[in-house]
Structure 1
Amino acid sequence: MSSPVWPSAPWVSTIAPEMQRHFEEALSKVNEQQRQVLWLREMRGYSHPEIASMLRIPEGTVKSALHRGRQRAQAELEERGQEP
């Protein structure tokens, strides 16, 4: 896996180092497309149509990747006893 892009987000510096580690580990369990969609939506604020255009995928794929990525990351955090 390439190094995570999440640390460039402004809010990441306010997260305790251990929570940041748990979060990054949870994201490592999300597939690449889901990770890209999550980053573009949650960190950069792009709309579903903008993400679809950038990644050259259908808007429905963006929505499902976002949904599945959020679910997977949340499940990983919960397995670690962390609040999502």
Structure 2
Amino acid sequence: MIGRAQAAWEIMEKEGGALVDRPRSIAAGEIRSRGNRILLEGSGERFRRLRRAVHTHLQPKAAETYESIQMEDAQSVMLDVLDDPKNH
């Protein structure tokens, strides 16, 4: 357990490569998602390629362009809840 935010920051800066790995998740990471979830990917070349591929789409400027899509989806969910509340 680390008691100070600064100490945690220093450890993550110095040991980032060792901290990035995740345990293998056969059910969620391999079977359910067919290995296509970056959150469940362990460290290595495949993780770096996936991260590079999504990096530009997750920047703040790019996220602003998704606002209209998110608004449409939110409205659709709200209408679905109002139309059939038992199924939500």
* TM-score, normalization by structure 1: 0.27
Using the size of structure 2 for normalisation, the TM-score is: 0.26
Bigger Cα Rg: 2
